[in-house]
Structure formats: C-alpha cells, structure tokens
A = this chain, B = another copy of it.
C-alpha cells in the first residue's frame, strides 16, 4: 500500500521513512517537504542517500493521488487545515501533531495558542493510543497519534487508574526527555553546547501535553483528574522516562499491581513489564517501539512509583503511527516494527 509522508524532513518524518522502508506491506508514494521540495532525500539527509526518493513540494492533489494513507509529521497548526480535506477524499490520515488530540476546541486554543480544527473533525478523530483504543482505531478515518509524553505517562498510569488502586488527586508525573523531541529547529537552547552536561526543566508552568494526559485518563479510565507534569530536557538524542507518583488506596500490594499490569498488557506486543525490584532505563527501548514499565510499592509513604520508558521518535511518534496503521489495516500489529532495540 502506498503512503505519503508530509513533513518528511523532520526527525519524525525521517523515522517514518526508515520504518516504511522496512515494512512488508508499505511503499512510499510521495515525500512532501515544504523546506526542501525538489531536492532528493539524500541531499538533505546523506544517511538516507541509498533511498532514492525525491522530495515534493506541498500539493493537495499530489498527496491525494500518491497514496491511500497520509502521515502528517508537521508542527501544530498544519494538519488541522488539511487533514479534513484529505479525509474527505478518502485517505486514511494519521496525524503525529497535536492538532486532533484534544476534543474541546477551547482547550486546544488555550494550550496551543492557535485556532483548532473544526469541532466535527476533532470529534471524529480517533486517539491512537494503540493499546487502549484498538477497536476505534480499526475503523478510524483520522488517527490523532498521541504525544510522546502522554504515550509514556498514560501507558504507565492508566492500568492503576482504571483499577482504582490510586488516588487520582495525587498524581505527579516527572518526565525526562531526549532532545530530538524538540525537532530539528535551529534554536540556541537546542545547541549541543547548551544541552550537553545539563538537565533543563522547561515549561514548568504548563506543557501542552497536560490536557492530553488528563483527557486520556477520562477517555480510558473514566477518571477526572489534574496531574502535575514537569518535563526536563536531558543530554541525549532519544528517549523519554516518565516517573509517575501516586498515593495508593488502602491495602494494595506489589502482587496486586503486578497482576493488574499483566492483565492489561498481556496481549500487548510492545509493552514489556519488569518484575519487582527492576526498573527500565530509556536505553532498553532505543530504536524500538517498546514501552517498558516497572514500578515500586513504597510502604513507607503509601505511594506507588511507576517508571515508563519509550523511544520518543518510535513509540512516542513514528513507531506508534505505524502500529496504528497496522491495526487500522488489519495487519499484524508488529508488522515492520520487529526490530530489537539498538544497544549500546
């Protein structure tokens, strides 16, 4: 099946290219780049010079005629305008930006500082947290691919919320991220000399992934809550680690938690659970679509600590986008995503 990638020269875009090249059922129909249309992919990214694809300027007609699926790996504010028109032409749209993740237009406006897509499209889009929304994804015309932080946070948090073993009013999410999540934009704070040998907290007063996390809790666990969420930039290229803290409801044991995670994820090929006393590190998932989860029940404080790690460009973006397409098409969920983590 032919796919089109819009925004193909960003980091998520080239990760999609890498994955599509390995996918048994996918062929690249067109690569769209507003910044480098007319060049070849290898001119922009010599590491892909063996992929003999050329980059095309933006053109709705070209996209519509080049594939049955279109991925948007674009900044906020792009897909909101174009996805509806492509969906209407019958393309399956998988949007890696935040434009279709929030259903409430006012919330989008307030957190993103932009005009949202039309409400009916917001409602129609299916939130693509693969493990929690497979049924809806199977029928989706538009998939709102989750953000990197919400993917890691929700995958760790939802089983606990859904089973009522934590107090929703006490959830704290402390996140550490590699810098590729910020994209390939020439900004001083992203320079090597600024990021290296540094931990930098940012958007401490409010990151746009907060409402997405909270909406996910409502959607999939039926719980209304407000989370504390603090992201930190870490000197690495890939990887997110979410450390989630919450007060346990009475009498919950390590075995209980272990059991409920098993129950929720036993059929999930990309979620790997660690046993008690073992915690994942981001390097355990680099280059792969895995989300690894570990936890600790702290009897001293009555809290549980959950560690959830992903590769932000894979399970946090392009990998999950492919996983969602696999689900949508009825292909094996792991098709094209069977590569092991690259270590070290």
Interface residues on A, range: 35 or more
A18 within 8 A of B: yes
Instruction: Given A192-B179, A341-B47, answer yes or no on A232-B237 (Cβ-Cβ < 8 Å).
Output: no
Query: Which of A90-98, A118-126, A303-311 makes up part of the contact surface?
Result: A303-311
A292-B46, A298-B228, A344-B11 are contacts. A191–B198 as well, Cβ < 8 Å?
Answer: no
User: CB within 8 Å of B: which of A296-321?
Assistant: 296, 298, 300-301, 303, 305, 307, 309
Chain B hits for A342, CB < 8 A: 18, 287, 342
Chain B residues whose CB sits within 8 angstroms of the CB of A303 once the complex forms: 172, 228
Set of chain B residues within 8 Å of A158, measured between Cβ atoms: none
Closest to A190 in B: B191
Contacting pair A194 B344 (CB below 8 A): yes
* Interface status of A238 (Cβ within 8 A of chain B): yes
Partner-binding segment picked from A99-107, A135-143, A273-281: A273-281
Does residue A39 face the partner (Cβ distance < 8 Å to B)?
no
Choice from B22, B174, B237, B300 contacting A193 with Cβ under 8 Å: B237
Q: Which residues of chain B are within 8 angstroms of A290 by Cβ–Cβ distance? A: 50
A333 within 8 Å of B (CB atoms)? no
- A301 CB contacts on chain B under 8 angstroms: 226-228
- Contact of B278 with A46 in the complex, beta carbons under 8 Å: yes
Contact B272 A49 (CB under 8 A): yes
Task: Write out the residue numbers on chain B whose beta carbons fall within 8 Å of the beta carbon of A178.
Answer: 193, 197
A18's closest neighbor in chain B, by CB?
Answer: B340
Interface residues of A in 178-195 (CB under 8 A from B): 178-180, 184, 186-188, 190-195
Mask, A17-30, CB within 8 Å of B = 1, is 11001100000000
- Can you show 8 pairs from A to B with CB atoms below 8 A apart? A47-B341, A50-B340, A176-B234, A198-B239, A200-B283, A205-B277, A230-B243, A234-B234
Residue-by-residue, is A248-287 near B (CB-CB < 8 Å gives 1, otherwise 0)?
0000000000000000000000001010011111111111
Contacts of A184 in B (CB 8 A): 188, 191, 193-194, 344
Which chain B residues lie closer than 8 Å to A200 at the CB level? 281-283
Structural contact, A176 and B232, CB atoms closer than 8 A: yes
How far, in whole Å, are A22 and B337 apart by their CA atoms in the complex? 11
Say yes or no: is A236 at the interface (Cβ < 8 Å to chain B): yes
Chain B residue with Cβ nearest A179:
B192
Whether B235 and A235, one on each chain, are in contact in the complex, defined by CB atoms closer than 8 angstroms, is yes
A25 to B342, CA, bound (A): 21
Q: Which of A45, A49, A238 has the largest number of chain B CB atoms within 10 A?
A: A49
- Given A46-B280, A51-B340, A292-B46 in contact, is the A239-B192 Cβ separation under 8 Å? no
Produce 1/0 per residue, A49-72, CB < 8 A to B.
Answer: 111000000000000000000000
A133 at the interface (CB under 8 A from B): no
